[in-house]
Structure 1
Amino acid sequence: YCERDERTLFRGLSFTVEAGEWVQVTGGNGAGKTTLLRLLTGLARPDGGEVYWQGEPLRRVRDSFHRSLLWIGHQPGIKTRLTARENLHFFHPGDGARLPEALAQAGLAGFEDVPVAQLSAGQQRRVALARLWLTRAALWVLDEPFTAIDVNGVARLTRRMAAHTAQGGMVILTTHQPLPGAADTV
């Protein structure tokens, strides 16, 4: 269970995410969606109960879990003084040859070498989300990935997530935007 400011956000919550599944967490502002994702990623601890990864308590397999995880929070987690390319290189230093394609797939062709501080909010979000085209992580946990993203960008990202789950990956995300038919579980 989880409490915040003496208010119970959830109790008795139990679910499993299997390979190839996409879970969409919905709810109003302040309902606890981000808190749930933080618990699932090990960034916060539940007030009671356990989070498991591959049948083991997360606290026991934290290192192997983090190698299997891509977490992108509602804050983009990018360096505004760096360019889009430099930001991706920071997270994926061995993938230099793949960076231009990842940026193009994220809709940033032509903006690779522009300092992130000069990009729009949607473009900055796309810089963070370009990691979806580089990561080898099995589990993607994404908090409000579509914030500031236009309709074409949402479609592009939705296709990428669908491809990831079709290859046996898992996606857990929060969103206020309806994605009819995209998620296995809402």
Structure 2
Amino acid sequence: MPPADQPFADHSADQPAADHPADQPFDDPTDTSLWRPLHALVASIDAAISQVYADAAIKGVKPTWVRELLRLYRTGPMTITELAEAVDRTHSALSQKVAAMKAAGLVRTTPGPDARTKHVDLTPKARHLAPRLAAEWRATEATLADLEAEIPYPITQAVTDIEQALARKSFHDRITERLREDPAWRGE
């Protein structure tokens, strides 16, 4: 055992992984990505909106929560299932989002008529913020429209074109078709 001031030596980095012999080259597919720029773009837009909130001293609100908060502001309390349907999300995804918004003090939940149902309602803090969040939403949509006018191929058109292509053949089917051709996927 080494002295207390010397940690155990970790030689695992010196050893090749059991399923990846050192003499086999490995072309890491994560070095390139068609999706990474899209994810980075969405993240930068969300960061800009978060900065708008910070500049306005709006604390504890994430841009990805605004649609749900505004829907609750317009309709009043809803079950998680109703809210998920209203914003086209899964119950599981909305349940996690509601838990995060509850922790941020923006919504509260109350038991429904049975043990499986929860009603979600805005807190006074969220009701107070809702008109400002609606203003930000309108400003963001107008800004995106301005951006689309500046570029030769609008993002909304690209999304529509991709959706039409996926209606012809699903993303799942496209991936599994390629995987059937890949010996690594088949374990060969």
With the length of structure 1 as denominator, give the TM-score of the two structures: 0.23
Looking at secondary structure, tell me which structure has more helix per residue: 2
Looking at secondary structure, tell me which structure has more strand per residue: 1
With the length of structure 2 as denominator, give the TM-score of the two structures: 0.23
Question: Larger relative contact order (C-alpha < 8 A, sep ≥ 6)?
Answer: 1
